[in-house]
């Protein structure tokens, strides 16, 4: 029994020694490194530059009153479609007391003048019929009488305009009714009924009653970096990606490039504009943020490989290509590069189509 136990222990020790040496031997042997092989193929290389901005209406109009007063009624709200000339609000005039008093005094003076000229006209008409006065005197009196009637009418109209904003003779033409100047959609109504408004004049921009825009005529307004602005030109196409509508792509054409840049956090940027092409069933809300991709250079049917397969020494570019007699050994080959889109790069010299280059480790 003891002899069998000793033999078992000896066998166990020898097995452990042999296993240890075997493990050390395998660990000491170099492992075979395998690489992904990339085919050199023909492809299209496209360079795009990105402009960031927003989609806004080309024509956005601020509707302002021509008189000062109080908003008595608003007939529209944001999202409504209006026609040119449609009434969107009514303003009640709060007349200036000085102007109102002057207008009333003007009527009184005109009435007094009319009474005098009427009496003169009646008297001179009788004298003219009797041949006492000349025709010229009679006609001059008649002219003064008619002028006095017109002055009284003008004074009454002036009072109506100051007090009510409209004359009795032209009720359809009044500054108290605020009308849309274009056909479009109401974007915003920043005032409420009861708000005071100021008229638009040469000294004051006036209170905005509503913003109206043509939502079928949209443009992209964005900024492009100074390093890229020299590569874009008016008339170039753009592809728009709108953050809120990421599934859809919209086409646009560059219509304007700013001649002067602006400093934006240390980077000089230039404003660009592009006309957005919309179908009849497409609708974009004003102010959506968007990115415009502009194709600035393209090369088709050129040899290309991934940039990740290239390494550099000094000013020279290299790739590893498999040896003909041993696919697990590689030769370093110098190449010349062309256009790059950041992922793939054009090969102008050093490789042929259907050759392979070493990629990343498997």
Residue-wise pLDDT tens digits, 148-198: 888 888 887 777 766 666 666 655 556 788 899 999 999 999 999 989 888
Alpha carbon 319 to its chain centroid, in Å, reads 45
Q: 60: closest CA among 289, 209, 214, 199? A: 214
Give the pLDDT mean for 34-63.
89
Asked if residue 343 has pLDDT above 70, the reply is: yes
Note whether residue 13 is domain-resident.
no
Kindly state whether residue 188 falls inside one of the protein's structural domains: yes
**Average of pLDDT values for 78-106?**
83
| 160 touches 166 (CB < 8 A) | yes
Whether pLDDT at 136 is above 90: no
Mean pLDDT on 270-292: 90
Distance in angstroms (rounded) separating the CA atoms of residues 188 and 102:
39
Q: Is the pLDDT of residue 288 over 80?
A: yes
Is residue 181 in some structural domain?
yes
- Highest mean pLDDT pick, 104-113, 196-205, 250-259: 250-259
Shared domain check, 182 and 130? yes
65 and 198 fall within a common domain: yes
* pLDDT over 60 (residue 69): yes
Q: What is the pLDDT of residues 51-67, one digit of tens each?
A: 999 999 999 999 998 88
Q: Which residues of 16-55 are buried (b: 16+ CB within 10 A; e: fewer)?
A: eeeeeeeeeeeeeeeeeeebeebebeebebebbbebebeb
Domain ends where: 186, 213, 240?
213
Q: Where in the sequence is the domain holding 278, given as residue range(s)?
A: 49-57+215-298
Residue 78's pLDDT is what? Answer: 92
324 domain residue, yes or no: yes
- In this structure, the answer to whether residues 67 and 167 fall within a common structural domain is yes
**Domain of residue 105, CATH code:** 2.40.50.100
pLDDT, average across residues 18-27: 62
The answer to whether position 24 is within a domain reads: no
Mean pLDDT of 322-334: 77
- Whether the Cβ atoms of residue 220 and residue 290 lie closer than 8 Å to each other: yes
Residue 102 belongs to a domain:
yes
Q: Last residue of some domain: 171, 198, 213? A: 213
Give residue 102's pLDDT.
80
Residue written as tokens 């590569």?
Answer: 231
Q: Tell me, what's the pLDDT at 38? A: 84
Per the CB < 8 A criterion, the answer to whether 209 and 198 are in contact is no
Give the pLDDT of residue 4: 65
Domain boundary among 298, 328, 350: 298
β-pairing, 344-349 vs 316-322, is unpaired
> Beta 311-313 vs 316-322: how paired, if at all?
antiparallel
> Are 81 and 198 in a shared domain?
yes
- Residue 336, pLDDT above cutoff 60: yes
Domain containing 230 — which CATH number? 2.40.30.170
Asked, for residue 12, whether it belongs to a domain, the answer is no
* Average pLDDT over the chain, rounded to an integer: 83
Mean pLDDT of 78-92: 91
For residue 153, what pLDDT is reported?
83
For range 325-353, the mean pLDDT: 83
Cα 111 to Cα 290: distance, rounded to the nearest angstrom: 67
7 within domain boundaries: no
Which has more pLDDT, 326 or 355?
Answer: 355
Whether residues 65 and 177 share a domain: the answer is: yes
Average pLDDT over residues 257-264: 91
131 lies in the same domain as 240: no
Q: What is the pLDDT of residue 30?
A: 54
**232 shares a domain with 183:** no
Q: How many domains does the chain have?
A: 3
Could you write out the three-class secondary structure of 77-103?
A: CCCCEECCCCEEEEEEECCCHHHHHHH
Q: Which range among 79-88, 165-174, 237-246, 283-292 shows the weakest confidence by mean pLDDT?
A: 165-174
Number of H helices, E strands in the chain: 4, 21
Residues 285 and 328 in one domain: no
- In angstroms, the Cα distances linking 325 to 30, 36, 330 are 21, 18, 10
204 & 308 share domain: no
**133 contacts: CB under 8 Å, gap ≥ 6:** 124, 127
Same domain, yes or no, for 67 and 209? yes
Same domain, yes or no, for 196 and 281?
no
**Residue 280 pLDDT > 70:** yes
Mean pLDDT value of segment 250-266? 91
Query: Residue 343 belongs to a domain with what CATH number?
Result: 2.40.420.20
Residues near 200 by Cβ (< 8 Å), separated by ≥ 6?
A: 64, 65, 66, 206
> Are both 231 and 167 inside the same structural domain?
no
């Amino acid at each position: 029994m003891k002899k069998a136990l000793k033999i078992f222990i000896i066998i166990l020790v020898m097995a452990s020694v042999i296993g240890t040496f075997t493990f050390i031997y395998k660990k000491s042997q170099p492992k075979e490194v395998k690489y992904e092989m990339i085919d050199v193929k023909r492809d299209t290389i496209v360079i795009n530059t990105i402009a960031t901005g927003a989609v806004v209406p080309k024509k956005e109009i601020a509707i302002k009153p021509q008189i000062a007063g109080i908003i008595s009624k608003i007939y529209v709200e944001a999202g409504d479609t209006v026609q040119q000339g449609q009434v969107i609000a009514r303003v009640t005039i709060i007349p200036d007391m000085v102007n109102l008093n002057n207008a009333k005094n003007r009527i009184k003076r005109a009435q007094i003048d009319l009474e005098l000229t009427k009496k003169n006209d009646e008297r001179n008409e009788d004298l003219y019929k009797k041949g006492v006065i000349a025709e010229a005197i009679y006609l001059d009196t008649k002219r003064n009488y008619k002028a006095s009637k017109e002055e009284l009418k003008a004074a009454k109209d002036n009072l109506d305009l100051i007090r009510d904003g409209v004359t009795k003779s032209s009720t359809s033409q009044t500054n108290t009714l605020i009308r849309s100047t274009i056909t479009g959609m109401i974007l915003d109504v920043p005032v409420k009924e009861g708000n005071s408004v100021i008229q638009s004049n040469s000294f004051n921009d006036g209170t905005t009653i509503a913003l109206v825009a043509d939502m079928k005529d949209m443009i992209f307004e964005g900024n492009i970096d100074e390093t890229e602005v020299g590569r874009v030109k008016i008339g170039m196409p753009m592809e728009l990606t709108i953050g809120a509508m990421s599934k859809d792509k919209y086409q646009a054409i560059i219509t304007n490039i700013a001649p002067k840049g602006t400093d934006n956090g240390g980077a000089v940027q230039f404003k660009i504009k592009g006309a957005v092409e919309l179908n009849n069933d497409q609708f974009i809300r004003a102010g959506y943020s968007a990115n415009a991709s502009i194709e600035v250079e393209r090369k088709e049917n050129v040899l290309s490989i991934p940039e990740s397969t290239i390494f550099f020494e000094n000013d020279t570019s290299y790739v590893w290509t498999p040896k003909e007699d041993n696919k697990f050994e590689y030769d370093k080959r110098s190449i010349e590069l062309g256009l790059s889109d950041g992922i793939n790069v054009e090969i102008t010299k050093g490789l042929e189509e259907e050759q392979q280059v070493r990629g990343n480790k498997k």
